[in-house]
């Protein structure tokens, strides 16, 4: 796929300085780019590459001032990093949405409604009463259960499993190995020490513009009519566990190996770093950030907090406490030495008193 520099500039709302008719067929880093490729310059540390790169075009900011001659054509924009990201997104769409048609063997059940420009890979399975929007791409070995609803422009990569009644919004990407709608971890203890399985009857709702990484699991809600909900714009990394009846607020970002226990509600625009663990039945306020391996055992009511530590606490208090914690062996030694001196002084005083 090729585009002229003029076409790319129009897409980005940029101004061309140079030969806008040259063709671009690939994106690249400024230090590695070749003829026919486009790069960007956002970090001043990389400015020296702009004078030697072989890139046919470079995206630069309006404040860029060249110190010497540049052979490449420039596309001048407000924010070069954001513009290059947009270009990557468009390129990604072109690559991943070009597949169409039905590969065999594949299966589709009864009473399904399917949109236009669909791709169904070999060995994919679609159950009964499924609704699939336009431009959906279902890769090989994906499973779509009964009564599932999938919006427009959705990609299900290989081995994605959507249990019955799952609802997926538009413009979502779900990566390989992810399971959505599996049973929540519900077991009732019995008098004899065994556990009785509690049937999980609800579903999962994924709203628009959500991305879910590989091998993530999102459990269905417990009761019929209830949902585990992932709100619009949420970005989930690989290897995340989201339990039954959890709700993740819009535009929240969650990194790998995080686990969120049942019935917890995470607010909007939150950031959860890797291996965060959140207990069940809690509420996390909007704009809350948790550092890696933070353990959350109580609700966070105040918005905008940055928390860190095995037991979550204010990040500044944590680092002050950690500074003391590192010194504990030395402090312990000094305390013992001080105790010895105090003990010796006390012994001398007692001896003098007795002698008098």
Convert 49-88 to b/e letters by CB count within 10 Å (16 or more is b).
bbeebebbbbbbeeebeeeeebebbbbbbeebeebbebbe
Most distant CA pair in the chain: distance in Å? 107
| Residues in Cβ contact with 326 at an 8 Å cutoff, skipping those fewer than 6 apart | none
Based on the residue annotation, tell me whether 141 is a catalytic residue of this protein: no
Residue 274 near residue 257, CB atoms below 8 Å: yes
Residue 29 near residue 50, CB atoms below 8 Å: no
Residue 125 near residue 104, CB atoms below 8 Å: no
Q: Which of 152, 244, 281, 348 is catalytic?
A: 244
Closest CA to 180 of 164, 158, 200: 164
| Residues in Cβ contact with 127 at an 8 Å cutoff, skipping those fewer than 6 apart | 109, 144, 145, 146, 147, 148, 164
Cα separations in angstroms, 170 against 63, 131, 151, 173 = 37, 12, 4, 9
- Residues belonging to the chain: 356
The set of catalytic residues is 244
């Amino acid at each position: 796929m090729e585009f002229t520099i003029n076409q790319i500039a129009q897409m980005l709302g940029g101004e061309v300085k140079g030969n806008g008719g040259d063709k671009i067929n690939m994106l690249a880093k400024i230090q590695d780019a070749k003829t026919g490729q486009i790069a960007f310059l956002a970090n001043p540390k990389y400015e020296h590459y702009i004078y030697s790169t072989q890139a046919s075009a470079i995206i630069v900011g309006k404040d860029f001032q060249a110190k010497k001659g540049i052979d490449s054509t420039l596309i001048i924009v407000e924010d070069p990093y954001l513009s290059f990201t947009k270009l990557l997104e468009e390129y990604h769409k072109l690559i991943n949405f070009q597949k169409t048609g039905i590969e065999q063997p594949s299966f589709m059940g009864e009473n399904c409604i399917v949109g236009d420009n669909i791709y169904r890979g070999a060995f994919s399975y679609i159950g009964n009463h499924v609704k699939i929007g336009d431009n959906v791409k279902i890769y090989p070995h994906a499973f779509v259960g009964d009564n599932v609803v999938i919006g427009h422009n959705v990609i299900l990569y290989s081995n994605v499993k959507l249990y019955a009644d799952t609802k997926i919004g538009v413009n979502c990407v779900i990566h390989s190995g992810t399971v959505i709608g599996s049973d929540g971890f519900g077991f009732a203890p019995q008098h004899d020490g065994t556990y009785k399985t509690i049937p999980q009857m609800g579903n999962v709702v994924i709203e628009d513009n959500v991305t879910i990484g590989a091998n993530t699991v999102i459990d269905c809600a417990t009761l019929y009519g209830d949902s585990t909900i992932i709100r619009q714009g949420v970005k989930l990394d690989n290897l995340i566990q989201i339990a039954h009846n959890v709700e993740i607020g819009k535009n929240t970002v969650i990194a790998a190996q995080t686990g969120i226990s049942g019935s917890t509600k995470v607010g909007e625009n939150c950031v959860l770093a890797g291996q965060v663990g959140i207990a069940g039945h809690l509420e996390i306020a909007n704009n809350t950030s948790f550092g890696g391996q933070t353990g959350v055992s109580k609700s966070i009511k105040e918005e905008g907090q940055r928390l860190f530590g095995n037991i979550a606490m204010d990040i500044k208090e944590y680092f002050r406490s950690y500074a003391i914690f590192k010194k504990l062996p030395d402090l312990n030694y000094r305390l013992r030495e001080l105790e010895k001196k105090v003990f010796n002084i006390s012994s001398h005083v007692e001896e003098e008193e007795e002698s008098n």
